[in-house]
Structure 1
Amino acid sequence: MTDVARRAGVSPATVSRILNGTAKVADDKRQAVLAAISELNFAPNQMAQSLKHGRTMTIGIVVQDIASPFFDEILHGVDDGLKGTGYASVIVSGHWNADEEAERIRLLLARKVDGIILLTGRMTDDTVLRFAEQRPIVSLGRVLQTERAVGYKLDNEHGAWLAVRHLIELGHRRIAHLSGPVENRDSVERLAGYQRALKEADIAFDPALVVEGTLHESGGLLAMNRLYDSGQPFTAVFAVNDQTAYGARLFLYRKGIRVPDDVSLVGFDDLPGSSYTTPPLTTVRQPLYVIGQTAVQSMLRLINGEPADGAIPPVELVVRETTRRSA
């Protein structure tokens, strides 16, 4: 920094203020400093800055499945949200296991991350709040609002209701549901939305039309297979998520069942690939990329001792080409 200051003809304090953006500096001095930085290939010592400011400039990210396109889209938003902030991310996986999630958070705390973004999971709210006493936490899939922790939760029940109501408005009454694991909160809430839409339309709920999957493509294929083998008649399928819908679509294709001519199909999430399935998938859109960006913005505010005031858009139905009016 002293060399940069000497080359630019300014004090080291001026170089520091320009690098940190802590005060206004005359434009000619700023340009001289930037030119000197370029000529000398100067880069601030991150370790020294961390010691000075008491921060590591890292944020821990706990995902549940690194290979999942659902989390991949959120991480894309997180990554873009961190650009230009000076922060880097450390990503670990909790594998949908509360004990493992807690162990991963302890690992991140040991590495002195400045905050933690928790992408859903199975830990209780009380456990999350206890960890937040040590570092700020932004969590998805739960409702939290404290000085140290904030949570964002989409209305899964309403999203499922939108999907099933769409099918009902198209004249479908035998609507099957490929659900997720019973221990998954999102799956339970989407099942509730499915049931509410049926009840409001005076359609009796038939448990035989609900088949549990795994939230993955393979689980959707197997669940669709079990539904087909059960012999239950149906004209439409609401899948708990897009990945389940992909597997269901493959099974129907192999059986020569046309979508949407023979069976209408709706997913949930609006993953990037859902616009390119054959045919393009009707689904409920979660603003995954925006969720990732909002999580970063809220985290930076919490780290700076400011209240997190971000909001995420509501879910919405995206009608494409896998649904049509019942014959």
Structure 2
Amino acid sequence: MATIYDVARRAEVSPATVSRVVNGRANVDPALAERVRAAMVDLNYRPNAVARNLRRSRTSMWAVIISDIGNPFFTSLVRGVEDVAQTAGYSVVLCNSDNDEAKEGQYVNAALTEQMAGVIISPTAGSPHVARLLDAGVPVVVIDRQMAGADVDTVLVDNEQGARDATGHLAAAGYRRIACITGPRGLFTAERRLAGYRAALDDAGLAHDPALVRHADFGVDGGHAAMHSLLAVDPRPDAVFVGNNLMTIGAVGRIFDEGVTVPEEMGVVGFDDVPWATLMRPALTTVAQPTYSVGRNAAELLTDRITDPKRPVSTVTLPTELRVRGSSGAKP
């Protein structure tokens, strides 16, 4: 089993420098710290957790609290978090809140009780629990959603621009009654994607028709029910922008159930790229999010916050990419 002295020899630094890196001290040159972390990985070095916790009064664990473990969006994101955490000497505990504030609170209680070194969280709408963590001095990074009034490190994607690109693409393809299925009212991602949809209608000189907007639960059943409702509107929409991957599954399923052809009778663009998007016939046009990069950026911000608790708060906003496929082909 590798020791701190083996790591020091491999990294060509002193054992004291290795100790400072392991314990998250700020007074280490970044280049030296990176050499130490690389040596730790090469040697499969694991610090003595008991001794480390006694010195730091915190464990070497991170809690990653996400809103829906069944959503593929979070799969790649958590992998990005874990890759950085392992290199930095931390382990990850994955928690699923189901977008339930009470359940989220239970996980936050556990993070506080177990004195976890940090928390990465996709919070529920209006969550009070991020403030609880900050008040307790726990390093926190918020992902996917922005907390109004909270002074906290945050990693987002450009939800509004992604939705604007998607809806604008449908308008440019000749569709004129473009519907939108977005997430729950008041949820940051849902509201930003709705704002992008509306901005694209303005760009194209198309009217805003409230009858063509539906709020759903970001789940398959919600997308199915919302699309069922939209297909009953007279006149029916000729295209739809769907605000996440699971709702897109439900919406497309309902479109096919009704015998509506895509894209001839209904253009479709979804938000979040998924492997099955290219397997559909026609293949599904999507807005791709850099999910792995979201996770990596969040983990890097958390390690920075642990190392330097007083550094300025950062917000990172990553771009999306519109991937055009057959489901949004030019309207006949």
TM over 0.5: yes
Task: Check conservation: 1:137, 1:299, Cα contact below 8 A.
Answer: yes
Residue 325 of structure 1: which of 313, 327, 330 is its match?
330
| Cα shift readout 1:93-143 (whole Å, capped 9, x = no counterpart) | 22213343233212211101011111242244x752442132011002116
Normalising by structure 2, what TM-score?
Answer: 0.80
How far 1:298 sits from its partner (Å)? 0.5
Query: Residues 229 and 301 (structure 1 numbering): CA distance in 2 closer, same or farther, change over 3 Å?
Result: same
Task: Check conservation: 2:167, 2:241, Cα contact below 8 A.
Answer: yes
User: What CA distance in whole angstroms lies between the structure 2 residues aligned with 1:305 and 1:95?
Assistant: 32
Task: Check conservation: 1:282, 1:323, Cα contact below 8 A.
Answer: yes
Point out the more displaced range, 276-285 or 68-77: 276-285
Task: Check conservation: 2:146, 2:188, Cα contact below 8 A.
Answer: no
User: What CA distance in whole angstroms lies between the structure 2 residues aligned with 1:256 and 1:57?
Assistant: 54
User: What CA distance in whole angstroms lies between the structure 2 residues aligned with 1:235 and 1:51?
Assistant: 63
- Where relative contact order (Cα < 8 A, 6+ residues apart) is larger, the structure is 2
Alignment of 1:201-212 (within 5 A): 201-212=204-215
Per the alignment, residue 250 of structure 1 pairs with 253
The answer to whether 1:101 aligns with 2:104 is yes
Secondary structure, in 3 states, of the residue corresponding to 1:83? helix
The answer to whether 1:233 aligns with 2:227 is no
Per the alignment, residue 26 of structure 1 pairs with none
User: What CA distance in whole angstroms lies between the structure 1 residues aligned with 2:5 and 2:156?
Assistant: 53
Residue 66 of structure 2: which of 63, 66, 73 is its match?
63
The answer to whether 1:313 aligns with 2:313 is no
Computing the radius of gyration from Cα coordinates, the structure with the larger value is 1
Count of aligned pairs between the two proteins: 306
How far 1:72 sits from its partner (Å)? 1.9
Task: Check conservation: 2:155, 2:315, Cα contact below 8 A.
Answer: no
Per the alignment, residue 296 of structure 1 pairs with 299
Query: Residues 301 and 183 (structure 1 numbering): CA distance in 2 closer, same or farther, change over 3 Å?
Result: same
Residue 78 of structure 1: which of 73, 77, 81 is its match?
81
Query: Residues 281 and 166 (structure 1 numbering): CA distance in 2 closer, same or farther, change over 3 Å?
Result: same
| Cα shift readout 1:157-196 (whole Å, capped 9, x = no counterpart) | 2221111111111111111112222232221222222122
Which segments of 5 or more consecutive residues in structure 2 lack a partner in the other structure?
A: 22-27, 29-39
Secondary structure, in 3 states, of the residue corresponding to 1:89? strand
Query: Residues 16 and 51 (structure 1 numbering): CA distance in 2 closer, same or farther, change over 3 Å?
Result: farther
Task: Check conservation: 2:270, 2:287, Cα contact below 8 A.
Answer: yes
Query: Residues 279 and 73 (structure 1 numbering): CA distance in 2 closer, same or farther, change over 3 Å?
Result: farther
The amino acid that maps onto 1:153 is L
User: What CA distance in whole angstroms lies between the structure 2 residues aligned with 1:6 and 1:127?
Assistant: 41
Query: Residues 42 and 181 (structure 1 numbering): CA distance in 2 closer, same or farther, change over 3 Å?
Result: closer
Secondary structure, in 3 states, of the residue corresponding to 2:329? coil
Secondary structure, in 3 states, of the residue corresponding to 2:217? coil
User: What CA distance in whole angstroms lies between the structure 2 residues aligned with 1:6 and 1:160?
Assistant: 53
Normalising by structure 1, what TM-score?
Answer: 0.81
How far 1:253 sits from its partner (Å)? 2.0
Per the alignment, residue 146 of structure 2 pairs with 142
Which segments of 5 or more consecutive residues in structure 1 lack a partner in the other structure?
A: 24-33
User: What CA distance in whole angstroms lies between the structure 2 residues aligned with 1:44 and 1:189?
Assistant: 43
Task: Check conservation: 1:60, 1:108, Cα contact below 8 A.
Answer: yes
Alignment of 1:1-327 (within 5 A): 20=19, 44-124=47-127, 128-134=130-136, 135-140=138-143, 141-142=145-146, 149-305=152-308, 307=311, 311-327=316-332
Query: Residues 123 and 145 (structure 1 numbering): CA distance in 2 closer, same or farther, change over 3 Å?
Result: closer
User: What CA distance in whole angstroms lies between the structure 2 residues aligned with 1:100 and 1:239?
Assistant: 27
The amino acid that maps onto 2:146 is R
Query: Residues 4 and 296 (structure 1 numbering): CA distance in 2 closer, same or farther, change over 3 Å?
Result: closer
Secondary structure, in 3 states, of the residue corresponding to 1:171? coil
How far 1:77 sits from its partner (Å)? 1.4
Task: Check conservation: 1:144, 1:150, Cα contact below 8 A.
Answer: no
